[in-house]
Amino acid sequence: MGADHGHGHGHGHAVSADADRRYLVGALALIAGFMVIEVVIGVIANSIALISDAAHMLTDASAIVLALIAMRIAARPAKGAYTFGWKRAEILSAQINGVTLLLLVAYFAYEGVHRLVDPPEVAGPMVLFTALAGIVVNTGAAYLLSRADRRSLNVEGAFQHVLNDLYAFIATAVAGLVVWVTGFRQADAIAALVVAVLMAKAGYGLLRDSGRVLLQAAPGHLDPDEIGAVLAAEPDVVEVHDLHVWTVTSGYPTMSAHVIVEMGSDCHGVRTRLADLLRERFEIEHSTLQVDHGKVAADEHCPDPHGPRHVGRTAPS
């Protein structure tokens, strides 16, 4: 009985890490500088909407800082016990960022409801003009982040934060205008609640996506059953089992499987063909396939085969 163990690698063409860092640092400078100004004006104007916007910008800045740190850590080579290197550092930073967002949501939802019931005096013109400046700053930051490699969960998370913050500034500008023109002070609290909703959406999205990676779920665009069926349909393949698809980090799908082929088949040739198929059809650049000869499939080789068995056309009935 022959066996072949091997893996296939491919190399994608991504935006260089140095270019990504420059875009991230540029966006961080814009956001951090304006955030300080907004906090000061928010306190002077007594606007919870402006202060909540500033807090949202703080999470934007934190997301970018964590992304920069994670990019540096993830670049460390694989060695010792860390056989995949530190590539999941960005996933951990995304988790931290998502949790922070949800904690801020709880605070601003409480404060917004409180001010909705008992609205304080708000300097409408100051809120309006500060929010308009925030729209300009966030547009610039969003443009810089859009130039980076958004396949990274960190970069995409930071981009979505800034984009949501842009929407929040629009809501705050409307609130400032309403307070200024009509004197309806509750508009400020309503804008803060809108910001909280946007923050909740972004936080949930980050926790959901990073949680899938940490739990080693298959990427959303890949169906393990479809992959198993496609592999099993290839010539010489009797059965595919122990098929696992997961993501090491953003844009790094990985797959392993045990493949049973017909007696007399070229194990190495089948493995190479299947690895090429996975790369070309499913964009799985890293695949590890154990290929064995056998007439009877899983039970002959694995006492406890994991997951469904994908039986090929050449399998005995």
pLDDT of residue 11: 40
Same domain membership, residue 303 and residue 282: yes
Does residue 94 contact residue 206 with C-beta atoms inside 8 Å? yes
Domain limit, last residue, from 199, 214, 229: 214
Is residue 317 a part of any domain in this protein?
no
Same domain membership, residue 147 and residue 39: yes
Same domain membership, residue 93 and residue 40: yes
Is residue 231 a part of any domain in this protein?
yes
Same domain membership, residue 44 and residue 170: yes
Among 161, 305, 288, smallest CA distance to 241 is for: 305
Q: Which domain holds residue 29?
A: 17-214
Provide the number of structural domains found in the chain: 2
Is residue 5 a part of any domain in this protein?
no
pLDDT of residue 300: 57
- In one letter, which amino acid is 154? N
Is residue 35 a part of any domain in this protein?
yes
Is residue 79 a part of any domain in this protein?
yes
Is residue 133 a part of any domain in this protein?
yes
- The domain spanning residue 58 has which CATH number? 1.20.1510.10
Tens-binned pLDDT, residue by residue, of the chain (317 aa): 455 555 544 444 344 567 788 888 999 999 888 888 888 888 888 877 678 777 777 877 877 887 788 778 877 777 777 777 787 887 887 788 788 878 888 888 888 888 888 887 777 788 888 889 889 998 999 898 888 776 677 777 778 778 877 887 888 888 889 988 998 888 888 888 888 888 888 889 889 988 988 888 998 889 999 999 999 999 999 999 999 999 887 778 899 999 999 988 899 999 999 999 999 999 998 999 999 887 654 455 566 666 788 887 655 55
Same domain membership, residue 232 and residue 204: no
Domain limit, last residue, from 157, 180, 214: 214
* Token pair listed for 125: 């013109």
* Token pair listed for 120: 């304080």
Tokens 């396949």 -> residue: 151
Question: Model's pTM, two decimal places?
Answer: 0.72
Domain limit, last residue, from 179, 214, 249: 214
Same domain membership, residue 54 and residue 185: yes
Same domain membership, residue 175 and residue 27: yes
Among 241, 257, 266, 254, smallest CA distance to 290 is for: 257
Same domain membership, residue 173 and residue 197: yes
Same domain membership, residue 191 and residue 67: yes
Same domain membership, residue 249 and residue 305: yes
pLDDT of residue 237: 93
Q: Are strands 253-261 and 286-293 parallel, antiparallel or unpaired?
A: parallel
Is residue 69 a part of any domain in this protein?
yes
Is residue 178 a part of any domain in this protein?
yes
